[in-house]
Amino acid sequence: MHPFEYSRVADASHALVSGAKPQTKFVAGGTNLIDLMKCEVERPTRLVDINALPLATIEAVKGGIRIGALARMSDVAANPLVRQHAPAISQALLASASPQLRNAASIGGNLMQRTRCPYFRELTWTPCNKRNPGSGCSAIQGDNRMHAILGTSEHCIATHPSDFAVAVAALDGVIALRGPSGERHVAAVDFHLLPGSTPQIEHGLKHDELITSVFIPDASHTRRSSYLKVRDRASYEFALSSAAVGLDIDDHTIRSARIALGGVGTKPWRAHAAESALTAQPPSIDVFRRAAEAEMSKARGYGHNDFKIELAKRTLVRALTDLAGGAA
């Protein structure tokens, strides 16, 4: 690990001034950043500890729930408001990491975590465009079993690792960002970026900005929502495939659906084609399968991860079937 300066701040204005300095990173739980510093993927010269900022509140506000960026994952997962009004959020958090990590990791940090692609995290291995732009993507011709099949480019096929971000994207979450010019709001589906030709640019947060909260709007499909994660082992493992789903069903007809997929996309993948295929349809396995086929029609495997195309379809069908109460 390279030497760095460390400071603590107690208010947002000081945090923004300190965080705007070159090669500076904010740190809260540190469960991802410190890891990357240890393996020298991240080399900040300054760390600004923001844990003292008053950004850990979870509260009901007009139109939904606001979750402070410094709220710990375990606290959000156990919060009665979240469990009642947005169960997919709670379930996604409980499916993440380990209890020890959930007790330390912050909500804002979870959104900012970087890929677990081994070619990105290991400096002695072959090139990685996220780590060294223009050097190439080793995963395309390498070991890509865990990699993406949606949103990929010739420059990167790494998956985004967050479970929480998938649920937030599905439920129309809005992320509040504070910078020198004040606060702005970004839809969760737009916060993370596709790799395109610049995979090193992973999100829309500017260097002089700070995530302050996440807003989850109240809606029928938010209250009736769930998260299903398929992985190699039962705990402490990243998704091979996951689905955050929300349904508004009335008179045996799906009035609206919200879906996002994890483990298969280069960003939390909002499944708009599947949502459209479900709207105004009866909740049935045949309908769910057609929706899954529609969403995965443009998926592309790279050899070792070809199995994810069918796995993602089955994950989505299972998630929808369970949520709809075992549709016939």
The stretch 4-10 carries a mean pLDDT of 97
DSSP line for 88-112? HHHHHHHTSS-HHHHHH-BHHHHHH
Would the pLDDT of 328 be above 90? no
pLDDT for residue 102 is more than 90: yes
- Distance from chain centroid for Cα 57: 20
The whole-number pLDDT of residue 324 equals 96
pLDDT at 327: 56
Average pLDDT over the chain, rounded to an integer: 97
Residue found under tokens 């829309």: 204
pTM over 0.95: yes
pLDDT per residue over 285-312, tens digit each? Answer: 999 999 999 999 999 999 999 999 999 9
Quick one: pLDDT at residue 243? 99
Q: Which two tokens stand for residue 165?
A: 């971000």
Q: From residue 191, give the alpha-carbon distance in Å to each of 9, 43, 185, 202.
A: 26, 24, 10, 9
Which pLDDT does position 1 carry in this prediction? 86
pLDDT in tens, 179-236: 999 999 999 999 999 999 999 999 999 999 999 999 999 999 999 999 999 999 999 9
- Domains delineated in the chain: 1-49 (3.30.43.10), 57-328 (3.30.465.10)
**% of the chain beyond a pLDDT of 70:** 99
Q: Please tell me the distance from the alpha carbon of residue 58 to that of residue 69, in angstroms, as a whole number.
A: 9
Q: What is the pLDDT of residue 212?
A: 98
Q: What is the structure's pLDDT at 124?
A: 81
Q: How many CB atoms lie within 10 A of CB 246?
A: 27
pLDDT, tens digit, 9 for 90 and up, residues 104-149: 999 999 999 999 999 999 888 789 999 999 999 999 999 999 999 9
Mean pLDDT, rounded, for 92-99: 97
